Amino acid sequence: MKHIKNTISLSVLLLMFATFVQAQAWEIPDGEKSKTNPLELNAANSEKGFEVYQKNCKSCHGDVGAANFMPLVPPPTDLGSAAFKTANTDGEIFYKMTTGKGAMPSFKAVLSDDERWAVIAYLRAGDKTDATVDKNAKLSIVANPDDKSISASITTKDATGKEVKLVGADIEISIKRIFGNLTIGKGKTNATGAFSVNLPEDLPGDSLGKATIIVVAKRFKQEEKIEIDWATPSKHHDLTAQASIWGTSANAPWWIMLLYIGIAGSVWVVIIYIVLQILKIARLAKKNV
Amino acid sequence: MNHEALPKEESKQLFEKIQTDLFAPLSKHYGFTAWIVVLATVLITAAMAYFIQLRDGLGVTAMRDIVSWGLYISTFVFFVAVSLVGMLISAVLGLLKIPGITPITRIAELIAIAFVMMAGAIIVFDMGRPDRLLNVFLHGRIQSPIVWDITVITTYIVISLLLLILPLIPDMAIMRNRFKDAPKWQVMIYKILSLGFAGLPEQKKIIYKSMRTLSILIIPVAFGIHTVTSWLFAMTLRVGWDSTIFGPYFVAGAFPAGVGAMAIALFVFRNSYNLKEYITEKHFDLVGKLLVLTSLLYLYFNLNEFLVPGYKMKTADGHHLEMLFVGKYALLFWFVQIFGLILPIVLLLFKKMRKPFPMLIIGVFVVIGAFLKRFIIVAPTLEHPFLPVQNVPEHFMVYWPNGFEWAITMGAISIALLILTILAKVIPIMPVWEIALEKGVREEELEEAYKNN
């Protein structure tokens, strides 16, 4: 599914560059405008909307509220901007996602109604979570090589200013891979305020066993990284390091080198010989005079 | 066909006549200006199209990321194919000592040079960023058929040029002595290109030996150029390209294309240069027979190329073949096979058809067929990628060249014809000295004409 969506966005982008898209205003039927979000504006729905947004919208619209959208013409709006959110009803946003326009793809066939409404729940929730983010929250990680565990906790200050560990906070722990982060554990902090996971025995790091662990507490807008050096060292089989058809010239298989240099070389030796012979014609002429 | 040497007086007159005939077109021939105007018009249109393509990028063409090789690449293959005629006529027929081919060897060589040069050029036209051309050389990988192709094309250009220059040396010596009153720069050029040739025995020996060596050398190189060109396709896993006989299939296909072009060129030069005495009906007969022979060979390869996968109809191959036989490309496919291959073979079996005018018409059909054939080798395969294509606009998946591509391609063809025209305007279209010897002019006569004084 994800693959298909990527293909869509990519090809729409290409189309954008290849042709001029005439910009015209959105036309939204009145009945659509007044529709309201059937989903409750709660954390679960907003979370779900966030996932959908990351996979389907971020590539063009950027991060919500960050105004880092793709430089297209007409530009994809920052869907987190106050201007956008006040100017559009839920029904309008829903309609725009559903039908698309120009380079904005139609998500009618790609996302279910619920998924689309969830995105709106996420966009709307954005302001509230922003306001309620706990400024004192602090994420900390402990990596324990003995049992190969990663443990994370969130501390904050209570009313009296005393440091306390939060119980039941959502945490996601992942490991950095080549093309993205691989989630290895997702859950809530326990009664002691910690959430921990054990790294799988065979989880490979780099050739020295190094790896980067990323811990995210989304609700608190916190992200921390930690380097470990006790992941399983990977016996990385570098396909471009060996002699191969697909490698660089320096890694060309010997038989290709031999054939190429042998054939081209011998032909050119003859050519150079002939050129020298031709020049000899001129030399003979001089001698003759 | 070395005749017995003629009596002295007769020999002198004959030599004079040959020179007059063959040098005459250098100063005037019919329709030259009109022809140049036609070519220039096409070129100007092409230049405008190319300017826009350079400015706005390859997006102005109909090529997209699914069909990314189109008319340019198929024209490239066509150019390479036509250029093989140089090897076929001047080397193969020459080494086989086929009688009477001397008058047509240089024409073949000129066609070869003009078209192989443009083959190189049209690749550059197919580049969105030709300013990065140097990267191909700096970062080219020896494992890549593209690098092999560049190597072998360059080699073929050099050998063809040498094969043109070598027999030209004695001609230039004759011209240097004959046209003493020509403009200074012209005399300069004759002087330089004649390399001081004075008919010394060692000099002649070098020319004969070098020509022979090159004639042998050019055969594998010419096979190489078209085999490697076919490998640009055959080294992939794509339907319609992934074939073990692609090398010989291309080489076999190149011969009729080149011989067809040869028939047209012979007709044109014969008439506009007034060379009926030199390019005779015998030559058309010979070229006609050659066309039958090479076309039969090509027909045989076509049978293999289509019958074998057509019998099995493996899923992907099946789609591809259906598209060619009864689908979108059926009209082109059958036109090419019937008018470009089968009909010419049948017609040319009759002696009457191997006369100059019928040969011209058949040549035109064969060449057009060859051109279109290259197109249906390149484009349909790309319309059938193995990875599923979804959710892309319709015009990404199908391909038909648009105006820009036609204009630029026609431009490339007219540059090739322009090179041919200009070369044929500044150098004699036949090796004067070889013709003279063949017709029985005495050696002394030539010695006299070569003398560096």
- Whether A22 has a pLDDT exceeding 60, the answer reads no
pLDDT for res B371: 97
Tens-digit pLDDT profile for residues A148-160: 999 999 998 888 8
Left (φ > 0), alpha (ψ -120 to 50) or beta: where does A139 sit? Answer: beta
Q: Residue A166: which region, alpha, beta or left (left: phi > 0; alpha: psi -120 to 50)?
A: beta
CA distances from A149 to A60, A152, A182, A184, A205 (A): 37, 10, 16, 11, 15
Is the confidence at residue A230, as pLDDT, over 50?
yes
Residues with Cβ within 8 Å of residue A179, at least 6 apart in sequence: none
pLDDT at A2 over 70: no
* Mean pLDDT of the A92-103 span: 92
Q: Which CATH architecture has domain A35-125?
A: Orthogonal Bundle (1.10)
Predicted confidence (pLDDT) per residue in B113-144, tens digit = 999 999 999 999 999 999 999 988 888 899 99
Size of interface A-B (CB pairs under 8 A): 97
Q: Considering only CB atoms, which residues of chain B are within 8 Å of chain A?
A: 59, 64-65, 139-143, 148, 151-152, 155, 158-159, 162, 165-166, 169, 195-198, 200, 202-203, 206-207, 209-210, 213-214, 217, 220-221, 224, 390-393, 396, 452
Of A7, A271, A282, the CB nearest to B391: A7
Is there a contact between A278 and B206 if contact means CB atoms under 8 Å apart?
yes
Interface test with B, best of A8, A267, A288 (most B CBs within 10 A): A267
User: Which pLDDT does position A5 carry in this prediction?
Assistant: 63
| CB–CB contact A278 B162 (8 Å) | yes
Which of the residues in chain B have pLDDT under 70? 1-4, 453
pLDDT at A8 over 70: no
Best mutation site among B56, B195, B236 for testing chain A: the one with the most A CBs within 10 Å?
B195
Contacts of A260 in chain B (CB under 8 A): 142, 148, 151
Q: What is the pLDDT of residue A20?
A: 45
**Angle at B184 (CA atoms; ends B180, B187), nearest 5 degrees:** 50
Q: How far is CA B216 from CA A270, B92, B164, in A?
A: 11, 8, 15
Q: For chain A, state the CA radius of gyration.
A: 30
Nearest CB among B198, B210, B213 relative to A288 is that of B198
DSSP sequence for B228-257: HHHHHHHTS--TTT--TTHHHHHHHHHHHH
Q: What is the mean pLDDT of chain B?
A: 92
Predicted structure pTM score: 0.71
Lowest mean pLDDT among A130-144, A157-171, A252-266, B88-102: A130-144
Class of domain A138-228: mainly beta
Residue B122: half-sphere exposure toward Cβ, Cα within 13 Å: 32
- Partners of B197 on chain A (C-beta within 8 Å) are 281, 285
- The percent of residues in chain A predicted with pLDDT above 70, rounded, is 89
Is the per-residue pLDDT at A1 higher than 60?
Answer: no
Is cis: bond before A38, omega within 30 of 0?
A: no
Comparing alpha-carbon positions, the chain A residue that sits nearest to B158 is A271
- Using a CB-CB cut-off of 8 Å, the residues of chain A touching B148 are 260
- What does the pLDDT look like over A98-113, one tens digit per residue? 999 888 999 998 999 9
Q: Does A159 touch chain B (CB under 8 A)?
A: no
Domain ranges of chain A: 1-23+253-289, 35-125, 138-228
Burial of A250 (0-12, 13-18, 19+ CB in 10 A): exposed
Which pLDDT belongs to residue A21? 45
Q: Which residues of B touch A14 (CB under 8 A)?
A: 64-65, 396
Q: Kindly indicate the confidence band of residue A289, based on its pLDDT and cuts at 50, 70 and 90.
A: low
pLDDT for res B56: 93
Query: Phi and psi at residue A204, in whole multiples of 5°?
Result: -80, 140
Q: What is the ipTM of this complex?
A: 0.90
Euclidean distance between CA atoms A126 and B426, whole angstroms: 79
* Mean pLDDT value of segment A121-143: 76
By the 10 Å C-beta count (0-12 exposed, 13-18 middle, 19+ buried), B249 is classed as: buried
State which fold the B8-385+404-450 domain adopts: Formate dehydrogenase/DMSO reductase fold (1.20.1630)
Handedness of CA B209, B212, B217, B222 (dihedral sign): positive
pLDDT value of residue B372 = 96
Amino acid B369: pLDDT: 96
Give the Cα separation of B322 and B342 in Å (integer): 21
Q: Could you tell me which residue, A65 or B427, shows the higher pLDDT?
A: B427
Domain boundaries, chain B: 8-385+404-450
Residue with tokens 């959502």: A170
Contact at CB, B155 and A271, closer than 8 angstroms: yes
- Smallest CA–CA distance, residue B251 to chain A, in Å, is 19
Dmax of chain B from CA atoms?
83
Torsion of CA A237, A238, A242, A248, to 10 degrees: 160
Residue A12 has pLDDT above 60, yes or no: no
| Dihedral (CA of B112, B118, B120, B123) sign | negative
pLDDT for position B388: 80
